Amino acid sequence: MYRYDEFDHAFVSARVEQFKDQVERRLAGELTEDQFRPLRLMNGVYLQLHAYMLRVAIPYGTLSARQMRKLAHIARTYDRGYGHFTTRQNLQYNWPALKDMPKVLDELAEVEMHALQTSGNCIRNVTADHFAGAAADEVADPRPYAEILRQWSSMHPEFSYLPRKFKIAVTGAERDRAAIQVHDIGLHLKRNEAGEIGFAVYVGGGQGRTPMVAKKIRDFLPVEDLLTYTTAIMRVYNLNGRRDNKYKARIKILVHETGTEELTRQVETEWLALKNSDLKLPQTDVDAIDSYFRPPHLPLRPEGWSALAGARKADHAFAAWVDQNVTPHKNPDYGVVTISLKPIGGIPGDATDAQMDLVADIAEQFSQDEIRVSHEQNLILPHVAIADLRIVYDLLLTDGLATANAGLITDIIACPGLDYCALATARSIPVAQRISERFADPARQADIGELKLKISGCINACGHHHVGHIGILGVEKKGEELYQISLGGSGDEVCTIGDITGRGFSSEEIVDAIETIVDRYLEVRTDKEETFLAAYRRLGAAPFKDALYSEAANAA
């Protein structure tokens, strides 16, 4: 994993000291809220419904056990004993007091963490495939490049006051687990015919009130040009992105209004001037960063396979967990374990301090001291020997962390919604909980198969509803919560924005409506191999709309 150098330490410490002073001046009345608000936001401090919220950056979702223990300690000491893992691979604390913020940031800095650029119109925390460095299907580890982008974008003077926030995601496999096509810039790490590493570059994706799939503006960008080309994109956006209307200020609108061809021309023109500048990455620099992400030494553990076969046979629940939550590792004696933070009826993404400590202990002992946060609000143990799966499972079971539902209908993404969020217009979590309870039966979930259900409590779409196979958007209508359904969205390599089905459903109706859609899918699929998304793409919305609205009409 990347370790801070002297520069990083000095930089973060200086920022903590600066913010400490700003908090003191605010509490003493020397700064007004209008003056202080942009300063606190630059340090990840929001105001929500019940309290302040602190959003901690977890660069490309990678954590060590020591860092996870610190997150647990902060939850226990300064918050209410839990934290919320988000769709941006970050962690949010829901209850910290303003006066404690400098102490919390001090504690974070002790383990090379911070809350910088988790808010504001800057380049936000760079996200990456949560299976990076471990997945069997990976071409190259995206994290060194995410780290290069992090270093380059941290406090970048030119890009600290962009027209709007800016999100970059990097994936290193054909299978896109980082949803790169719904980011402002998406980078797909790949090899060209000569076997060299480079990036396909996507620009202008995003969700929110105007969802758009990113456009590919370059099929292959050599690694050495990562920063020159990204800078060219940023310059075109910074200069031409709209500042007159907050809702039209993201780069997706600029791409849409300019046209992909013209925008690409502008970027390429800008790039010509930058291509051979100081930003051109020397291979030695890439190698230096890359060395922090070298694959861990994984001893051969072939004995695991026979042990696994026996353990599977003896315990169906364990077998189901292995089937659902363990994915292939580069090393055949190892697996990538998804720790579901979606217990049946639970709050998606929430973890208690004790759970965080437990995950840290397990990671230290059984996963090379590495933990990942997925944008699907789960935790990942990237390097677990097949031989250790049983003991890891047993340990996870002790604190409710062994739910075997990764990728199934109860593995729901949900934003905090109106239970916490000042921007929300409806609640998300209770809807997720009720759907999870409705589909709790493991056999039923397994029969339904892969189905990504995502819920947002407002149009800003933090719950990624636009790319849910089934998406739910909560709004407020005439003082009541109303839930709009969209179908057929997908955030993977075949990225699509879901289609809205029609009129929305009340809080009382929404779970039945979801069940109606799922039941219709089970009726119309060709066989069990045809997933919900595949069936929707084959049939379109008609059979689902028919089920939803004719049944509703019948009931009325």
Q: Which is nearer to other proteins, 203 or 431 (CB)?
A: 431
> Taking CA 537 as the corner, what is the angle to CA 531 and CA 540, rounded to the nearest 5 degrees?
120
**Of the candidates 251, 243, 266, which has an alpha carbon nearest to the alpha carbon of residue 166?**
251
Nearest distance, CB of residue 431 and other proteins, angstroms = 10
| Position among 41, 98, 298, 320 found at the interface with other proteins (CB under 8 A) | 98
Name the one range near other proteins by CB under 8 A: 21-29, 194-202, 356-364, 517-525: 21-29
CA-closest candidate to residue 468, choices 169, 36, 179: 179
Which residues have CB under 8 Å from 348's CB, separation 6+? 341, 342, 377, 412, 413, 414, 429, 432
Q: Other CB atoms closer than 10 Å to residue 8's CB: what's the count?
A: 17
Residues 480-539 that bind other proteins (CB under 8 A): 481, 507
Query: Largest Cα–Cα distance of the chain, in whole Å?
Result: 69
x-or-dash pattern for other proteins, window 27-66, by CB under 8 A? Answer: x-x--xx-------------xxxxxx--------------
Binding residue count for other proteins, defined by CB under 8 A: 30
CB atoms within 10 A of CB 399: 15
Question: Which range binds other proteins by CB under 8 A, 112-120, 421-429, 438-446, 464-472?
Answer: 421-429
Structure tokens at 149: 């982008």
CB nearer to other proteins: pick between 4 and 78: 78
Interactions with other proteins, residue window 340-359 (CB under 8 A): 347
What track of x and - describes contact with other proteins for positions 366 through 395 (by CB under 8 A)? ------------------------------
How many residues are given for the chain?
A: 556
* Shortest distance, position 54 Cβ to other proteins, whole Å: 11
Ramachandran region of residue 61, left (φ > 0), alpha (ψ -120 to 50) or beta? left
In the bound state with other proteins, the residue whose beta carbon lies nearer, of 80 and 280, is: 80
**CB of residue 134 vs other proteins: minimum separation in angstroms?**
33
What does the angle CA 526 – CA 528 – CA 533 come to, to the nearest 5 degrees? Answer: 75
The structure tokens listed for 376 are 């699907």
**Rounded distance between C-alpha atoms, residue 286 and residue 369, angstroms:** 24
CB 137 within 8 A of CB 36: no
Which has the closest alpha carbon to 205: 158, 176, 166?
166
Which span (316-324, 413-421, 494-502, 528-536) binds other proteins, by CB under 8 A? 413-421
- What is the 3-class SS of 346-360, one letter each residue? CCCCEEEHHHHHHHH
CA atoms of 429 and 129, how far apart (whole Å)? 25
Q: Which of 338, 433, 456, 496 binds other proteins (CB under 8 A)?
A: 433
Q: Minimal CA–CA distance to 152: which of 15, 289, 295, 6? A: 289
Q: Specify the long-range contacts of residues 534-540, CB closer than 8 Å, at least 24 apart.
A: 536/469, 536/487, 536/488, 537/488
| Closer to other proteins by Cβ: residue 50 or 175 | 50
Considering only 97, 272, 314, 317, the residue that binds other proteins (CB under 8 A) is 97
In this structure, are residues 298 and 334 in contact, taking their beta carbons and an 8 Å threshold? Answer: yes
Q: Please name the residue ranges forming H helices in 204-340.
A: 226-240, 251-258, 260-274, 283-291, 304-314, 316-325
CB of 479 to other proteins, least distance (A): 7
Tokens standing for residue 507: 């809080």
Does residue 427 bind other proteins (CB under 8 A)?
Answer: yes
419 binds other proteins (CB under 8 A): yes
What is the nearest approach in angstroms of other proteins to the Cβ of residue 97?
4
Identify which of 379, 447, 473 has the alpha carbon closest to the alpha carbon of residue 131. Answer: 379
Q: What pairing do the DSSP bridges indicate for beta strands 62-64 and 82-85?
A: unpaired
| Residue number with CB closer to other proteins (232 or 414) | 414
* Shortest distance (Å) from residue 154 CB to other proteins: 27
* Tokens read off for 275: 């291509």
Q: Which residue stretch of 93-101, 313-321, 405-413, 435-443 sits at the interface with other proteins (rule: CB under 8 A)?
A: 93-101
Binding-residue pattern over the window 463 to 482 for other proteins, x denoting contact by CB under 8 A: -------------x--x-x-
> Which CB sits closer to other proteins, 256 or 434?
434
Q: How far is the CB of 98 from other proteins (least distance, A)?
A: 6
Interface region with other proteins, contact rule CB under 8 A, candidates 210-218, 250-258, 417-425, 491-499: 417-425
Nearer to other proteins, 73 or 80 (CB): 80
Mark residues 99-128: x for contact with other proteins by CB under 8 A, - for none. Answer: x-----------------------------
* Interface contacts to other proteins, rule CB under 8 A: 26-27, 29, 32-33, 47-52, 80, 95, 97-99, 347, 418-420, 422, 424, 427, 429-430, 433, 476, 479, 481, 507
